[in-house]
Amino acid sequence: MKWESLDIRQFSSSDYIAAYQHLDDVKRAKVERTRQKKDRLRTVAADALARRMLGKAMGCAPEAVCFAYSENGKPTAIGKYELSISHSENLVVVAIHTGPVGIDVEHIHEVSPRLAKKYFCADENFYIFGHEPHDVDFEQIPRDDVRLRFFEIWTAKEAYLKSIGEGLSHLRTINTTTLPFERHLIENEYLVTIYY
């Protein structure tokens, strides 16, 4: 498994123009439907990063990489690699692997503990708060360590669901405390979690 990140502030307008020319019809349609300029930039930058990584791994030019998409829209490189893409704020991340892979990145920010109550199971809430859920004040603003553990669980759920090609409607049905993940904290600002 390999993964890389790209700060979109380092992706110039000439990079965007060059990368846009290599988008396949599916990605180009997605970009054209996207209203926000930053979202279009993230989509194009992520595609360029994925093509560069896959081209290097497959020994071909990035523009020669072809993608196929599952029913849920999960991309794979035609050949032997699966990939996963995520973005948050100014960071895009891509993971490639010869088997199923899921990656998620989140910008660490203030978050309501009520989200944990709504989407996380009892074991996950215990991991985050250090108490049984019935003893947690879900209205209190979490400390930094609690907030980081919240994002560890959130990104783990998203990475796992991406690896199996399922949507976020299954967030509450999985217990990520029993699964192995690879995690990376980038500049104490972004948390990247990978499942493969």
Q: So where are the chain's domains?
A: 2-83+92-98, 105-195
Q: In the CATH hierarchy, which top-level class contains the domain 105-195?
A: alpha beta
Q: Which residue has the tokens 């791994």?
A: 57
CA distance linking residue 104 with residue 124, whole number of Å: 18
What is this structure's pTM? 0.93
Do residues 133 and 117 make contact, with C-beta atoms less than 8 angstroms apart? yes
Rounded to the nearest 5°, which phi and psi values hold at 52?
A: -65, -45
Do residues 192 and 104 make contact, with C-beta atoms less than 8 angstroms apart? yes
What does the pLDDT look like over 22-46, one tens digit per residue? 999 999 999 999 999 999 999 999 9
What does the pLDDT look like over 64-115, one tens digit per residue? 999 998 887 788 888 789 999 999 999 999 999 999 999 999 999 999 999 9
Do residues 53 and 77 make contact, with C-beta atoms less than 8 angstroms apart? no
Q: In the CATH hierarchy, which top-level class contains the domain 2-83+92-98?
A: alpha beta
Mean pLDDT over 110-123 rounds to 93
CA distance linking residue 4 with residue 73, whole number of Å: 21
pLDDT of residue 171 exceeding 90: no
What does the pLDDT look like over 125-166, one tens digit per residue? 999 999 888 888 888 888 999 999 999 999 999 999 999 988
Answer yes or no: same fold for 2-83+92-98 and 105-195. yes
